[in-house]
Amino acid sequence: MIPDLSEAEYDTLKAAIREAGRVLVPVVVTTDGEVIDGQGRVRAAAELGIKDYPREVINGLDAEAGHLMRLSLNSVRRHLSAEQKREVVRAALRSMPHLSNSYLGEKVGVSDKTVAAAREGLESTSEIPTLTEFRGKDGKTRPRHLMARTPREQREATDALVRLGDDAPTRLMTAREAVRKAKRVGAAVACATRPVAEVPPDTLAQVHHCDFRKMPVEPGSVRLIYTDPLYHRQHLPLYSDLAEWASKVLQPGGLLVTYLGTSFLPEVMRRLDGRLRYVWTCATLFNGQKTSVFGPKIRCGWKPLLVYCNGNFEPTDWMGDVIAAPVVKRNHVYEQPEGEAEFFIRRLTGEGELVLDPFCGSGTTAAVCKRLNRRCVTTDIDPAAVATARERVARTRVGDPLVRPKRTLAPMPSEPGDFDPVDESLTCLPA
């Protein structure tokens, strides 16, 4: 459909790649190795001896989707004349007459009137059938994209896309990110096949298999709720339910500390504000890979933990608000570090006090509470997570070594060496 590069155009492309010393625009390939876009770049790279160049690996393309992608990519980048574009439209209509004028025009970069005129001409010569129903862009699923920069990454990307199947990303991500996701999904699938373990009840840390609103907890008996709910957009209503439930089970002055997604910080706060009183926003730092937030194009290097109180907050000591603990996901795909749980539980509760985790996952909160000699009641609706948590609690003993945070940027003064005295004469407070 798209005319081949002329020799002059190819020479210009090759000269630009030679001057840059690399291929700048990714070559788009399928998991079968078919080049959807970038044959000229591949040819030029081979002639210039450039082996490593960016590749965008795509899965889930049928023949039609491949044609449409090739149309869209080339129409945007190639400087086609008006007549060349009309010929591209005619060629596309011959093979895909069921596409709507607006959709095809969007792909080629022309108006729907241009497509309608080409369609009318082809219908008049019976080159295409006269149709009454057409399919627009909403009728197609989005293909899966991965970015690879070397042949090895291309192979890894292909393998990851095949393993992920329907869980493959619908946004562009790197091969390395996809490989990590494939490992997480594989671990989650393996975990999901496990039954709820028949582990004898623990007297200090209980793990239940039920909705958190059905947990066996007396009203007003809880000192701390420390939890990590699911925080995709569809799960945001859980925070409203969590706030209402927490206001009933927390004792006066009891605290809720909850993880959440940074993008949803204002929405989650709005849902919690109606039932509880805001205290502070703490931050846990990522040690390594940052999270890409594509809307505002932010490389996010931290995750918030909101602290809310049931009534008035009466602190007994200083506490830091920034922490980075080693991330180890041995037990669950969404497992949070023990060091972070220990940081908050040890500072906000005393021995024997009750801690709840209504979304326990692999049981990090329960395990840390047992080591610190705190009573804990947790639950989860995932039977595989409950099985993992019960086994983990059974292996844990009071006084077992704790994984301390990697660093805290505003630590408690009660820990030797953590706190440098501040010269109060240099501190300015509003009148």
pLDDT value of position 252:
96
Which amino acid, residue 276?
L
Report the DSSP pairing between strands 375-379 and 205-208. parallel
357 belongs to a structural domain: yes
pLDDT value of position 301:
87
Closest by alpha carbon to 14, among 56, 49, 43, 55?
43
How many domains does the structure of the chain reveal? 3
pLDDT value of position 197:
52
- Tokens representing residue 9 in the block: 């155009």
- Tokens representing residue 300 in the block: 């996010």
User: Which strand (E) or helix (H) includes residue 345?
Assistant: helix 338-348
239 and 169 together in one domain: no
Contact residues for 54 (Cβ-Cβ < 8 A; gap 6+): 23, 24, 25, 26, 27, 147, 148, 149
163 and 279 together in one domain: no
Residues 37 and 133 sit within 8 Å (Cβ to Cβ) = no
Q: With H, G, I as helix, E, B as strand and everything else as coil, classify residue 241.
A: helix
Q: With H, G, I as helix, E, B as strand and everything else as coil, classify residue 160.
A: helix
211 and 170 together in one domain: no
User: pLDDT digit string (tens) for 42-84?
Assistant: 999 999 999 898 888 887 677 777 777 777 776 656 667 788 8
Residues 327 and 287 sit within 8 Å (Cβ to Cβ) = yes
161 and 216 together in one domain: no
272 belongs to a structural domain: yes
83 belongs to a structural domain: yes
236 and 299 together in one domain: yes
222 and 257 together in one domain: yes
Phi then psi for residue 155, to 5 deg, are: -65, -40
Tokens 């009728």 — which residue?
A: 139
pLDDT value of position 404:
57
Tokens 């049931």 — which residue?
A: 310
349 and 370 together in one domain: yes
380 belongs to a structural domain: yes
122 and 219 together in one domain: no
Report the DSSP pairing between strands 302-309 and 298-300. unpaired
pLDDT value of position 154:
78
281 and 335 together in one domain: yes
341 belongs to a structural domain: yes
Using the 8-state DSSP alphabet, how is residue 322 labeled?
A: E
Q: With H, G, I as helix, E, B as strand and everything else as coil, classify residue 348.
A: helix
Residues making up the chain, counted from first to last:
431
155 and 246 together in one domain: no
pLDDT value of position 414:
40
Domain boundary among 192, 223, 256: 192
Q: Identify the sign of the CA torsion 48, 54, 57, 61.
A: negative
Q: Identify the sign of the CA torsion 11, 13, 15, 18.
A: negative
Domain carrying residue 244: 205-408
pLDDT value of position 270:
95
2 belongs to a structural domain: no
The mean pLDDT of the chain is: 80
- Tokens representing residue 329 in the block: 């996901």
Angle at CA 301, nearest 5°, toward 310 and 163? 105
Separation of alpha carbons 230 and 242, rounded Å: 12
165 and 214 together in one domain: no
User: pLDDT digit string (tens) for 387-397?
Assistant: 888 988 998 99
Q: For helices 175-192 and 383-395, what crossing angle results, to 10°?
A: 80
pTM of the model: 0.55
pLDDT value of position 145:
60
200 belongs to a structural domain: no
Flag residues of the chain having pLDDT under 50. Answer: 140-142, 407-431
156 belongs to a structural domain: yes
pLDDT value of position 46:
92
85 and 178 together in one domain: no
